[in-house]
Structure formats: structure tokens, C-alpha cells
Amino acid sequence: MGAIALLAVGLLLAGATGLYRVFSYFAALFIVAVLGAASVERNDRELDLAPYSWLVVGLGATFVIGLTGIWLRWEPGTTEYTYVLGLPASTLIYVVFLWLLPILGAVYYALVFPSIGNERVINDIMSDVRRVQRTERYPLSPSPPEADGGEPSTPRREAKQSESESESDSEERR
């Protein structure tokens, strides 16, 4: 998280000093660093971003290639363009690398989703959670804690949980 905060400071400084090329790369790094935060507590090693490692690397590379392509082919005051697929080449680079390719990140997320959200993972999480909740009472926790946990909730179960919430809230106030 320290790196994310440093990048945020870097962005504010680059913005205040007018360094727009530096700002653009800091922005790219900031976005991928934030995405990497999704894995920062999941794994033992801080730089192990599994299962999102390739997504973070891929998006980072896409952004850097896109921005570099733009800066190589365009600068303020450019008046002549080479047109590719109906757009100036530099604008097409933006469209491809900063709009279209990042959408594939959503597909990547869906493909690796089973490794963070399959039945076994969720059952493990919920059974650990219920074990903890049997030893300590927390505000807004379902009452009574369920031993199996993790099964899909139903409206009926929710209604039951809501009824029990007044009890939780009484504790909360205490």
C-alpha cells in the first residue's frame, strides 16, 4: 500500500509541476498497482499477485506500450496525421491499447475466477468464519452461526437473519 500512496503523491507532484508525460506513466502504474492490491493480502509474498499476476503485467505492458506509442507519434501542435482504419495513427493507438485491450482484463478475471471463488475456496472461508464467530460475537453477525456455511443465501434465510439483527444491534449498542 505504501507504493500506491507514493504513486499518488507522485501524480499530485507531476500534475502540479506540469510534467504530463511523467504523469501519464505514473497514472498507468497507479492503476495497475491498485489492481495488484486485490492480491496483496492473499499470498505470503508481497509481490506474488496470483491469480492476477498476468493481468497486472499484461495491463501494465498494454498501458506503457500505448502511452509510448502516443508520445512517439504525437505531440502538442501536431497538424499532420497518418490515417489508419479511419483514425489518426496516434488516436488509433489510444483506442486499441487504452480502450479495447483493457476490456480483455475483464475476460481474464472471469477465467481465473474459479481459483478465488470456487465452491471449495468459499466453503473453506465460510467454515473458518463460522468457527471464529462461534468463539466471539460480532455486530451484525448471523445468529446463530452456521456450522456448514457458504451455501447460497435465500430470501427466506435473509428474512430470518434480518429478524435476528435486532438482537445484534442491541449488543452493538451495549
Partner 1 sequence: MTVPIVPLQEIPVTDSPYVLLFGGVYLSLVLGIGVWGYLQTESTADFLITGKSVGTWVLALTAFSVIQSGFGFVGGPELVYSFGTTALWIFFTAPLGFVVAWMLLAKRLRLLADVRDVMTLADGMYVRYESAWVRGLTAVAVIVGVMAYLATNLAALQYVMRAIFGLPVVWGLFIGAFILLAYSTLGGMIAGVWTDFVQAITMIVGSVFVFAFALSFGGGMESISRSLASADPAFVSPFGAMDAPAATIFTALGWWILFSIGTAGQPHLITKFYMSRNLRILRWGAPIAAVTYAISSLIAFSAGLSMRAMVEAGQTAAPKSASVVGPVFVLEHTPGVVAGLILAALLAAIMSTSDSFLNIGAAAISRDLPRALGRPIENDTTELRVTQAALASITVVSTLIVYFSETLVGILGTIGWGFFAAAFFAIAALGLNWTGATKEGAIVALLGGLAVNLFYSAVPRIAETAGFEGVADTIAGLYPFPAPFPVGTVALLVTVVLFVVVSLATQDGRSVPADIAVLIER
CA torsion 84-85-86-91 (nearest 10°) is -60
As measured in angstroms, the least distance from the Cβ of 54 to partner 1 is 13
The enclosing H or E element of 87 equals strand 87-88
As measured in angstroms, the least distance from the Cβ of 152 to partner 1 is 4
How many angstroms separate the Cα of 4 from the Cα of each of 18, 19, 35, 38? Answer: 21, 19, 10, 12
Which residues sit opposite 14 in a β-bridge?
none
- 31 is written with which cell numbers? 492503476
Residue 137: how many CA atoms within 13 Å on its side-chain side? 10
As measured in angstroms, the least distance from the Cβ of 22 to partner 1 is 11
Q: At what angle do helices 101-117 and 53-73 cross, to 10 degrees?
A: 170
How many angstroms separate the Cα of 47 from the Cα of each of 16, 33, 52, 120, 135? Answer: 30, 11, 11, 25, 33
As measured in angstroms, the least distance from the Cβ of 147 to partner 1 is 14
As measured in angstroms, the least distance from the Cβ of 126 to partner 1 is 7
